[in-house]
C-alpha cells in the first residue's frame, strides 16, 4: 500500500491517506483513499500509529448502537501530532498523544466539578458524527464522511478536538498504549472510581472481553478475595484465570440462572458486580447477583439503542445500588496520561490484554477475531 500523500508544510493542506469506511452496518469495512482536512481552530491533526478495536466499534458495525454512517469508526487511538489549528496550546507537532471518546474541556460545570467526567461537549451519548462546528474533516469519493465520537482512529490521519487529545510520555510504546484510550481506563475506573472495590470483597464480572478483563485486573489489584467471571465464550476463561478470575461460569451450561448460582456460591450475593457486555438481560442478572443490602452493580456496557431495562424495583429498595460508569469516570485529559506513565513505570502490566496485532489493512480480519474467538484486544498497526 502506498504512503499517504503529504507535503512538508502540512498544517494548511489536505492529506490524502487510507482509511476504513463503514458505509453501512452489517457489512465489512472498505479501505479507501480519503481526504483529511487541515485542523480548524482548537483542533489537532494526528498521524495514527496504533488503534485498538473495541467492543463498542463491533456493536456499531453490528448495528446495535446507532451512529451516523458512512463513518470512520475507531476511538482507541495512539498517534503523533502532525499539525495543530489556531489556538491549540496543550500539544504541538511531534507529541505522542491518545485520542479520547469523552473530551475534557476543563471549563464546563461538569469538568470543574470534582466528580465525574461527562464534559458538556461529549458526543458519545448522542453522537452527531460531526465536529463541534457541525462540519466533517473527512471526504471519500466526493462524499462527506462522519466521525465516531469526535475521534475516528481507523484512518492513517484523523482530526480531533484538542479537548479530546491527551499528551503522553515521550517514552510510551506506541504499539501498546492505544488501549489506554478506552479499555484500560474504562475497566480500571469502573473498579477504582465507580465501585470502589474493597480488600477481601467478592466480585462478579459479566463479559470477559478487553474491558471486562481490565475490570478483573482492577478487582485483583484492589484485593478482592473472589472474582467470578461470566462469559458464554469459554475460550476467555484461561486468560481470565491468569489475570485473577477465581471461578468461571458459562450461563449456557448452567441448570439455573447464573445469578442464582452466583448467590449460592457467595452465600447471598457478591459485594460488587460489573456488567461489561452491553445487554439489558445481563445488567439485570448482574444486579440480582449482588448482595441484598450493600451490593453495588456497575453497568459498564452500553445496551442496544432503544432497549429498556426492566426489573422488580424491590431489587433496589433494600440498599442495593446500580451505577453507570463511562471511561471509568476518569477525567480523560487530566488522568489518563498519568495511567500511561504508571504503565511505563511498570506499576501494572496491561500487555496480556493485547492478544493480537494486525496491520491496519487487515481490519476486517480483526473484527472477525472478536467474534467468538480467543482474541481479547486486537491492536491495528499503521
Ligand atoms: N453473557 C455472557 N457473556 C457474553 C454475553 C452474554 N449474554 N454476550 C457476550 N458476552 C461476552 C463475549 O463473549 C465477550 O467475551 C464479552 O462479552 C464482550 O467482550 P468484547 O471484547 O466484545 O467487548 P469489550 O470488552 O471490548 O467492550 C465491552 C463494552 C461493554 C465496554 C462495550 O461493548 C460497550 O458497551 N461500550 C459502550 C460503553 C462505553 O464505555 N463506551 C465508551 C467508549 S467504549
Ligand atoms: Zn471503547
Residues 40-62 have pLDDT tens digits of 999 999 999 999 999 899 999 99
Structure confidence at residue 3 (pLDDT): 58
Cross-strand pairs, 380: 51, 358
With bands split at pLDDT 50, 70 and 90, how would you rate the model's confidence at 5? low
For residues 77 and 57, the answer to whether their CB atoms sit within 8 Å is no
* Ligand 1 pocket check for 222: Cβ under 6 Å: no
Å from CA of 74 to ligand 2 middle = 8
Q: How do residues 118-141 score in pLDDT, each as one tens digit?
A: 999 998 888 999 999 999 999 999
CATH fold group of domain 187-325: Rossmann fold (3.40.50)
Residue boundaries of the structural domains of the chain: 15-181+350-381, 187-325
Cross-strand pairs, 118: none
Of ligand 1's listed atoms, the one at least distance from the Cα of 213 is: 25
Q: How do residues 292-329 score in pLDDT, each as one tens digit?
A: 999 999 999 999 888 999 999 999 999 999 999 999 99
Q: Which of 164, 207, 232 is the best mutation target for the ligand 1 pocket, counting ligand atoms within 8 Å of the beta carbon and taking the most?
A: 207
Structure confidence at residue 7 (pLDDT): 44
**Three cell numbers written together for 357:** 496485532
The two domains 15-181+350-381 and 187-325 share their CATH topology (first three levels equal): no
Å from CA of 360 to ligand 1 middle = 22
* Secondary structure (3-state) at 233: coil
Region 342-361: what's the mean pLDDT?
Answer: 97
**Ligand 1, atom 41: closest residue by C-alpha:** 326
* Ligand 1 pocket check for 232: Cβ under 6 Å: yes
Q: How do residues 60-107 score in pLDDT, each as one tens digit?
A: 999 988 899 999 999 999 999 999 999 999 999 999 999 999 999 999
Q: Is residue 1's pLDDT more than 60? A: no
**Ligand 1, atom 26: closest residue by C-alpha:** 55
Residues 6+ apart with CB under 8 A from 274: 190, 191, 195, 203, 204, 205, 206, 212, 215, 286, 297, 298, 300
Alpha carbons within 13 A on the beta-carbon side of 99: 34
Class of domain 15-181+350-381: alpha beta
For residues 242 and 220, the answer to whether their CB atoms sit within 8 Å is no
With bands split at pLDDT 50, 70 and 90, how would you rate the model's confidence at 184? very high
Place of cell 477481601: 200
DSSP strand E in 162-211: where? Answer: 165-167, 202-206
Q: Is residue 223's pLDDT more than 80? A: yes
CA distance readout (Å), 31 to 23, 28, 103, 371: 11, 10, 28, 20
* Ligand 1 pocket check for 61: Cβ under 6 Å: no
Q: Is residue 211's pLDDT more than 90? A: yes
Alpha carbons within 13 A on the beta-carbon side of 89: 2
Region 331-341: what's the mean pLDDT?
Answer: 98
**pTM assigned to the model:** 0.95
Å from CA of 301 to ligand 2 middle = 10
Structure confidence at residue 9 (pLDDT): 45
Q: Give 348 or 65, the one with higher predicted confidence.
A: 348
Amino acid at each position: 500500500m502506498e504512503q499517504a500523500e503529504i507535503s512538508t508544510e502540512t498544517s494548511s493542506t489536505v492529506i490524502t491517506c487510507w482509511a476504513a469506511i463503514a458505509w453501512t452496518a452489517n457489512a465489512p469495512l472498505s479501505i479507501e483513499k480519503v481526504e483529511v482536512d487541515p485542523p480548524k481552530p482548537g483542533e489537532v491533526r494526528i498521524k495514527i500509529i496504533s488503534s485498538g478495536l473495541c467492543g463498542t466499534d463491533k456493536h456499531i458495525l453490528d448495528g446495535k448502537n446507532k451512529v451516523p454512517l458512512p463513518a470512520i469508526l475507531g476511538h482507541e487511538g495512539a498517534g503523533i501530532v502532525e499539525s495543530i489549528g489556531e489556538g491549540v496550546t496543550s500539544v504541538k507537532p511531534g507529541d505522542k498523544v491518545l485520542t479520547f471518546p469523552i473530551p475534557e474541556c476543563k471549563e464546563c460545570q461538569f469538568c470543574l466539578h470534582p466528580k465525574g467526567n461527562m464534559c458538556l461537549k461529549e458526543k458519545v451519548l448522542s453522537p452527531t458524527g460531526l465536529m463541534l462546528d457541525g462540519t466533517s474533516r473527512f471526504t471519500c469519493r466526493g462524499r462527506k464522511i462522519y466521525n465516531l465520537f469526535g475521534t475516528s482512529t481507523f484512518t492513517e490521519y484523523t482530526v480531533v478536538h484538542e479537548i479530546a487529545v491527551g499528551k503522553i510520555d515521550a517514552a510510551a510504546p506506541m504499539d501498546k498504549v492505544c488501549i489506554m484510550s478506552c479499555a484500560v481506563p474504562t475497566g480500571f475506573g469502573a473498579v477504582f472510581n465507580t465501585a470502589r472495590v474493597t480488600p477481601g470483597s467478592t466480585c462478579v464480572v459479566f463479559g470477559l472481553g478487553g474491558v471486562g478483563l481490565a475490570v478483573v485486573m482492577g478487582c485483583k489489584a484492589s484485593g478482592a478475595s473472589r472474582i467470578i467471571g461470566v462469559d458464554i465464550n469459554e475460550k476467555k476463561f484461561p486468560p481470565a484465570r491468569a489475570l485473577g478470575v477465581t471461578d468461571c461460569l458459562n450461563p449456557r451450561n448452567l441448570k439455573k440462572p447464573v445469578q442464582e448460582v452466583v448467590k449460592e456460591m457467595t452465600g447471598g450475593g457478591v459485594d460488587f458486580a460489573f456488567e461489561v457486555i452491553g445487554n439489558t438481560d445481563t445488567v439485570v442478572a448482574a444486579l440480582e447477583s449482588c448482595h441484598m443490602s450493600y451490593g453495588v452493580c456497575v453497568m459498564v456496557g452500553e445496551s442496544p439503542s432503544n432497549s429498556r431495562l426492566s426489573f422488580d424495583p424491590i431489587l433496589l429498595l433494600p440498599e442495593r445500588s446500580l451505577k453507570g460508569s463511562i471511561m471509568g469516570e476518569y477525567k480523560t485529559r487530566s488522568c489518563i496520561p498519568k495511567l500511561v506513565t504508571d504503565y511505563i513505570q511498570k506499576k501494572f502490566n496491561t500487555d496480556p490484554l493485547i492478544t493480537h496485532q494486525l496491520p491496519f489493512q487487515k481490519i476486517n480480519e480483526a473484527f472477525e477475531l472478536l467474534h467468538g474467538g480467543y482474541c481479547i484486544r486486537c491492536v491495528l498497526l499503521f
